[in-house]
Structure formats: C-alpha cells, structure tokens
Amino acid sequence: MKWVEESVERFINELGSKNAVPGGGGAAALLGGVGVALAGMVANLSATKKKTEEQKNRIAALLEESKKLQERFLELTDLDAENFLPLSKAYGLPTDTEEQKEQKEKVLEEALKKACEVPVETVVICHKAIDIHHELVHLSSKLVISDVGVGVQALRAGLLSAKLNVDINLKLIKDENFIGETRQKIDSLIPDGLKKADDVFEIVESAINK
C-alpha cells in the first residue's frame, strides 16, 4: 500500500489507530512534504509580482528545488512504513535457545539500522527545505509571506520529529561506528535548521505586524 495515494482522512485515521504504521517517521516525512509544498506555492505566487530578472530566476530555481524535495518527502512517507516491517518482525523472533537469541540480536541490529534510514534522510532534506524558506522569505510577495512562516514551522517540526526517530533507534543499536557515522550526518543540521527556521518565523511575524 502507498499511503500517499490514500486520502488525507484515511492516513490520519490510521495514524491514530493501534496499527504500527504509519507512524512517527512517516508523519515526520509528511510534515516535511507539507512544509516544502508551501515553499512551492509561495514561489509560484511571488514569481508573478514585480521582480528583477535575477530575482525571478532565483525564485524559479527555488521552485524547482522545492518540487524535487516535495516528491522525495512523499516517497519517504511510504518508505518509512516499509522499513518498519522488518523491525516489527524482528521483535517477534523466538529467544528460547542461545542460538535463537543470537540470531534475533543480529536481525534486530540490522532492522534498527534500516529503520534509521528514512528519519536520517528526513532530517537532511528538512534542513535543505528550511534553507529554501530562509531565502524565499526575502523574495516572497507580502500577500503570502504568512505561508512562508507556516511552511517553515512544519519543516521545523519535521526536523525535530525525524531526529527523535533517529535517536530512539540509535539507542538500541550496538554498532558504535554506525552510531558515530549517523550522528555525524545529522547532529550539526539540527541547531542550524532550528536557528534558520526561527529567524524566518521572526521575519514573517515582523512583516505581518508592521
């Protein structure tokens, strides 16, 4: 099943059910998709306003980048559910003998690593999408600048939500090299992304309340 092809109503209802998927990882990716889609909307509506040729070209480039990230966020929403299945099965493996315990530990370790993939990438591209808003806020039409604020807040939530999904998996992984490599990929992105998101929101609030 592809969750992104289902209705919003069904996705939300399933998210609130006792089923394990879709879960927090998919929700984080979807938040990212919502956030970057708003960047696309703002770029589309701002491109028609009075701009220099250089500004128009830059808005067009940001629009193209936002479309690519939007597509990837949707893919990640489904991929997170797929990657969780091996983990859910691993938890159910028997542990009656020492051999079974060792096998379960091995399978569980690999499944946890697999489960890290989507939230790690979600952190990375949420950060990229926040960068789009960080630039777009200075190019946005004043009529839609509030949507820059909404978009960047969705991405901020997606960034932190994905981080939590990475953290909970890393806590159970024993491979120190994998933990270190994963931390290296995302740890510097979190504070930078949060600062940029907060800067954008402050600019939006200031523009609205002038």
Digit-coded pLDDT (tens) for 116-138 = 999 999 999 999 999 999 999 99
Are 43 and 66 in contact by the 8 Å Cβ rule? The answer is: yes
Q: Per-residue b/e over 52-83, b at no fewer than 16 CB within 10 Å?
A: eeeebebbeebbebbeebbebbbbbbbbbbeb
Predicted confidence at residue 6, as pLDDT, reads 65
State which residues of the chain have pLDDT below 70.
1, 3-6, 49-50
The sign of the dihedral angle between the CA atoms of 45, 49, 54, 56 is positive
Are 39 and 132 in contact by the 8 Å Cβ rule? The answer is: yes
Output the six-digit token pair for 49.
């306003």
Is the link from the previous residue into 22 a cis peptide, with omega within 30 of 0? yes
Q: How far apart are CA 123 and CA 200, in angstroms?
A: 18
Nearest CA to 151 out of 124, 122, 121, 131 is that of 131
26-64: pLDDT as tens digits: 999 999 999 999 999 999 999 876 678 888 899 999 999
Nearest CA to 145 out of 132, 136, 156, 154 is that of 136
Taken in order of first residue, the domains within the chain and their CATH numbers are: 8-83+95-205 (1.20.120.680)
Each as own residue / partner, the long-range contacts of residues 43-51 (CB below 8 Å, 24 or more positions apart, any chain) are 43/136, 45/141, 45/143, 45/144, 46/136, 46/139, 46/140, 46/141, 46/144, 49/141, 51/139
Q: Which H or E run includes 210? A: none
Predicted confidence at residue 24, as pLDDT, reads 87
With a CB cutoff of 8 Å and minimum separation 6, the contacts of 92 are: none
Q: Residues, the chain, total?
A: 210
